[in-house]
Chains A and B, each alone.
Chain A
Amino acid sequence: MPECRWELLPHGADIGVRGVGRTKAEAFEQAAMALTAVITEPASVSANECVEITCQATDDELLLVNWLNAVIYEMATRRMLFARYEVGIDGNGLFAKAWGEPIDENKHELGVEVKGATCTELKVAPDQDGGWIAQCVVDV
């Protein structure tokens, strides 16, 4: 079984996010951690406030895009950053909690704002180690 982890992948002017987990839900959590890492150093964000996020899609891959876009929407409209995610997937539905805090320029070193998740390099699949991979390119 692979350890839970996230990675950023180069993609021209944009950037790819990849989450790896023991389950599909964990891979989705890790992909969202990678998203946080595009914007700031995840360790600098305190998990003080909890936001509930739900979304649906017709398949796993569109569910990942909808999930990351829902996180982007919450970050943009609440002006928050998230440090931790807990995801549950039930068929076509996703139910999640995200913990974080409001953006603080003095505390968070800010990189770029993410506009949205895309279907480019989109993949949600089991990997050869018996875990799951969830990845796509995000537009910055």
Chain B
Amino acid sequence: MELSRLQRRAENEWWIAPYGKMRVPAVIFATEALIRDMDEKVYEQATNVAMLPGIVKASYVMPDAHWGYGFPIGGVAAFDADQGGVISAGGVGFDISCGVRTLLTGLTFDQIQAKKERLADALFGKIPAGVGSRGKLSLNEKEMNAMLAGGAKWAVERGYGMREDLERVEEGGCIPGAHPHEVSDRAKKRQREEMGTLGSGNHYLEVQHVAKIVDRDIAAAFGVSQGNIVLSIHCGSRGLGHQVGTEFLTRMAAAASQYGIDLPDRELA
């Protein structure tokens, strides 16, 4: 990103003052080096977000920002319903309940060294991954709704996780108030096919070795020490999240003009 287009307000705080249809400034938190490496699209997307009705104070951009859909990835904004604030389906995004989780194994690097190949084969054999893979779970309509409403709690109740896992998940693994009946049959059908599979693309399960501890206190809080073997898993959302996000986004994009909402980018609908 071009530094000359930004005002430096503090060591790591950069502003784009409102111009054109922007209602508030865009504020980027990043070091100079990160700003230089940032995609110009982040500038464009952060200013687009600043144009949305009812935005509070600023369109914020975190240090990890990169080119996203409508919002930059790492973009943050609040909207005040009493000030004409909007709900942006694109801002909520397609990645519903997607995330990375690290599991401690209690094993050390030395213990698995001689068994690495067998371990990899066993993981490939047991975990359905890749395009078109099939899982062992097939949920009927009632169970699908229970899963959508119960989240990780549902999984633990059925023996797919441990109670202690929930203590380490945001909101205990379940945000109350979900309306599974608002999720379309098409979205549920996609989930039915993918249930219990890891996915493909950037979804992964990695066996990782803790090679170096940088901050002892943080490592201790997470129960990690040097030489540990941990499993990191990136999964979630996939077909279900995309189907839900896309269905609402296309409906809202088509309806925006009826409500007098001028969208700088349809992806912000």
A residues with CB within 8 A of B: 11-13, 39-40, 57-58, 61-62, 65-66, 69, 73, 76-77, 79, 103, 105, 110-113, 115-120, 122, 137, 139-140
CB distance from A44 to the nearest CB of B (A): 13
Q: Give a binary string over B143-182; 1 marks a CB under 8 Å from any A CB, 0 the rest.
A: 0000000000000000000000000000000000000000
Contact of A120 among B69, B199, B242, B246 (CB under 8 A): B69
Contact between A140 and B266, CB atoms less than 8 A apart: no
**Chain A residues, Cβ within 8 Å of B269:** 119
Most buried by B among A58, A110, A118: A118
**Chain A residues, Cβ within 8 Å of B253:** 62, 119
What are 16 A-B pairs with beta-carbon distances under 8 A? A57-B250, A57-B254, A62-B250, A62-B266, A76-B190, A76-B193, A77-B193, A112-B200, A112-B201, A113-B199, A115-B241, A115-B242, A117-B246, A118-B267, A120-B70, A140-B200
Q: Total A-B pairs in contact (CB under 8 Å)? A: 89
Contact of B94 among A58, A61, A105, A115 (CB under 8 A): A115
User: Is B50 interfacial (CB-CB < 8 Å)?
Assistant: no
**Chain B residues, Cβ within 8 Å of A73:** 186, 190, 243
User: Is B105 interfacial (CB-CB < 8 Å)?
Assistant: no
Contact between A115 and B239, CB atoms less than 8 A apart: yes
Q: Interface range on chain B: under 10, 10 to 19, 20 to 34, or 35 or more?
A: 35 or more
Given contacts A65-B250, A112-B200, A116-B246, 20 further A-B contacts (CB under 8 A): A57-B254, A58-B254, A69-B246, A103-B131, A103-B132, A110-B131, A111-B200, A112-B201, A113-B199, A115-B237, A115-B238, A115-B241, A117-B246, A118-B69, A118-B246, A119-B70, A119-B90, A119-B267, A122-B266, A137-B69
User: Is B99 interfacial (CB-CB < 8 Å)?
Assistant: no
**What does DSSP make chain A's interface, helix, strand, loop or mixed?**
loop
Contact between A113 and B94, CB atoms less than 8 A apart: no
**Chain A residues, Cβ within 8 Å of B28:** none
**Chain A residues, Cβ within 8 Å of B131:** 39-40, 103, 110-113
CB distance from A1 to the nearest CB of B (A): 30
Task: Give complex CA distance A69, B186 in Å.
Answer: 11
The chain B residue sitting closest to A70, CB to CB, is B186
Contact of A116 among B67, B200, B202, B242 (CB under 8 A): B242
**Chain A residues, Cβ within 8 Å of B237:** 115
Contact between A116 and B66, CB atoms less than 8 A apart: no
